[in-house]
Chains A and B, each alone.
Chain A
Amino acid sequence: MRIQADQEKCCGAGSCVLAAPDVFDQREEDGIVVVLDPEPPAALHDAVREAAAICPAAAITVAD
């Protein structure tokens, strides 16, 4: 799995951080998404897919 997050699209409400805290975080200065682990282990894949599904700005893309 490979994750990309589009920081231009992100609106910073943090749903991804709640869904997959080991993979996503928010930048200190403006709350915009950062990917902590762009190639997370299999155990986190479901959480990442959930994060991508609930992201309101369609900012997270996941390629298998």
Chain B
Amino acid sequence: MTTAQRTAPPTPLTLPATRAPGCPFDPAPGITDAARGEPVTRATLWDGTSCWLVTRHEDVRAVLGDPRFSADAQRPGFPFLTAGAREVVAGKPTFLRMDDPQHARLRRMLTADFMVKKVEAMRPEVQRLADDLLDRMTAGRTSADLVTDFALPLPSLVICLLLGVPYDDHDFFQERSRILLSLRSTPEEVRAAQDELLEYLTRLARAKRETPDDGIVSRLVARGELADGDIATMGRLLLIAGHETTANMTALSTLALLRNPAQLARLRAEPALVKGAVEELLRYLTIVHNGVPRLATEDVVVGDRTIRAGEGVLCMIGHANRDDAVFPGGDALDVARDARRHVAFGFGVHQCLGQPLARVELQIAVETLFRRLPDLRLAVPYEEIPFRGDMAIYGVHSLPVAW
């Protein structure tokens, strides 16, 4: 048979990529292998289109820091990971998927709310919420699901407070955001969840016109520059980005530390390491694991490749965060590493607006959890932990723990 003797073409990389069984903290090995030979490489998306994958730390920073790469998902050729993700931007885009100057105008309406000083002042409140949740979780019990009882409610409570969204509605918006972030949701499900959230937030904005408070939604209303629908769109971005991300980082960080007892012991012995340890966990775990998408608007040389105008790019920040040139031995978790140059929050003008808040929440969550529960351990065999390979934001669906 002559066909068998023909040199097989290299297996094409397809996305979303899967992780190796048994290595749930490591980014997809197929991409790692391809990147070793070719740091700027091609991949095929679910819809048969192809795009570039950028994997080196230096190249990821170059792309995300370059205005010739657009974040505007309505441009033809923009790479989407699923049909559902395409549906999300078919409606009204948030500033996450706009370019400057439109992006900067909207983002700057919020930068004061998330600046370091403002968020640092919230520490006592976040600490109180964390302690209350742990009081309730441990009262009369010796085991619980850390996701539902601690990791998810903590950032949800905080973002609700900040926005002026009633936390009592959390079942409603958590379910909608689960649908929006699931790689398995159909476009119809995504559209329905999107519409319901927008309707809810538009009603909320209208209500704040009548009874203002000092939450972000109310202040955006008072500013008078945006229609209620635009405020709802912004609110949806903040609500989803504000709780899913930190929630998953909290649970996954807990698991990663439990699986690396020497690192956990070191952190417990030296609590001053917590700030650096959170940066290291952000780097090591990189929960935005399917790549940060951009579209080239001009021909641009990246590494040794020319990316042509109109071609899509996915910046694989999880792989960049394991780049040996910047993080030697980066496949290991090292709570004492200086990981501040990680790109887990992205890079460039879209770099995470909520990062000061995420940092405070994570520092408090990790420190409080391991201080208050010195005997914290998994309540099920490690093999049974359901990882979120099926979600846009990585993490675990549940984390049964005992103490």
A56 touches B115 (CB 8 A): no
Known contacts A11-B107, A54-B341, A58-B65; A31/B112 CB under 8 A: yes
A11 to B71 CA separation, bound complex (whole angstroms): 15
Which residues of chain B in 307-328 are interfacial with respect to chain A, using CB atoms and an 8 Å cutoff?
none
Which residues of chain A in 1-21 are interfacial with respect to chain B, using CB atoms and an 8 Å cutoff?
9, 11-15, 17-19
Chain A residues with CB under 8 A of B108: 12, 30-32
B116 contact from A9, A18, A56, A57, Cβ within 8 A: A18
B115 contact from A14, A54, A57, Cβ within 8 A: A14
A56 touches B117 (CB 8 A): no
Quick check: is B352 within 8 A (CB to CB) of the other chain?
yes
B340 touches A54 (CB 8 A): yes
Known contacts A19-B340, A50-B340, A56-B348; A11/B111 CB under 8 A: yes
Chain B residues with CB under 8 A of A31: 108, 111-115, 118
B117 touches A26 (CB 8 A): yes
Looking at chain A, what size class is its interface with the partner chain?
20 to 34
B112 contact from A9, A15, A30, A53, Cβ within 8 A: A30
Q: Which residue of A lies closest to B115 (CB)?
A: A31
A interface, by DSSP: helix, strand, loop or mixed? Answer: loop
Which residues of chain A in 25-59 are interfacial with respect to chain B, using CB atoms and an 8 Å cutoff?
25-32, 50, 53-54, 56-58
> Could you mark each residue 115-151 of chain B with 1 if its beta carbon is under 8 Å from any beta carbon of chain A, else 0?
1111000000000000000000000000000000000
Q: Which residue of B lies closest to A11 (CB)?
A: B349
B356 touches A13 (CB 8 A): yes
A15 to B341 CA separation, bound complex (whole angstroms): 10
Known contacts A13-B353, A50-B340, A56-B65; A26/B348 CB under 8 A: no
A30 touches B116 (CB 8 A): no
A12 touches B115 (CB 8 A): yes
A27 to B111 CA separation, bound complex (whole angstroms): 10
- The CB with the most chain B CB atoms within 10 A, among A14, A15, A32, is that of A14
The smallest C-beta distance from A44 to any residue of chain B, in angstroms, reads: 16
B351 contact from A18, A50, A56, Cβ within 8 A: A56
Chain B residues with CB under 8 A of A11: 104, 107, 111, 349-351, 353
Quick check: is B345 within 8 A (CB to CB) of the other chain?
yes
A13 to B241 CA separation, bound complex (whole angstroms): 15
Q: Which residue of A lies closest to B349 (CB)?
A: A11
Chain B residues with CB under 8 A of A28: 112
> Could you mark each residue 363-387 of chain B with 1 if its beta carbon is under 8 Å from any beta carbon of chain A, else 0?
0000000000000000000000000
A25 to B114 CA separation, bound complex (whole angstroms): 13
The smallest C-beta distance from A55 to any residue of chain B, in angstroms, reads: 9
A13 contact from B118, B341, B352, Cβ within 8 A: B352
B112 touches A13 (CB 8 A): no
The smallest C-beta distance from B58 to any residue of chain A, in angstroms, reads: 12
A9 to B65 CA separation, bound complex (whole angstroms): 11
Q: Which residue of A lies closest to B104 (CB)?
A: A11
A54 to B230 CA separation, bound complex (whole angstroms): 31
User: With contacts A26-B112, A30-B108, A58-B65 known, what are 7 further pairs, Cβ within 8 A?
Assistant: A11-B350, A12-B112, A13-B111, A29-B112, A31-B114, A50-B340, A53-B341
4 nearest interchain CB pairs? Answer: A12-B111, A31-B111, A31-B115, A56-B351
List 20 interface pairs A-B (beta carbons < 8 Å), by A numbering: A11-B107, A12-B107, A12-B108, A13-B114, A13-B351, A13-B353, A13-B356, A15-B351, A17-B116, A18-B116, A26-B112, A27-B112, A30-B111, A31-B114, A31-B118, A53-B341, A54-B340, A56-B65, A57-B348, A58-B65
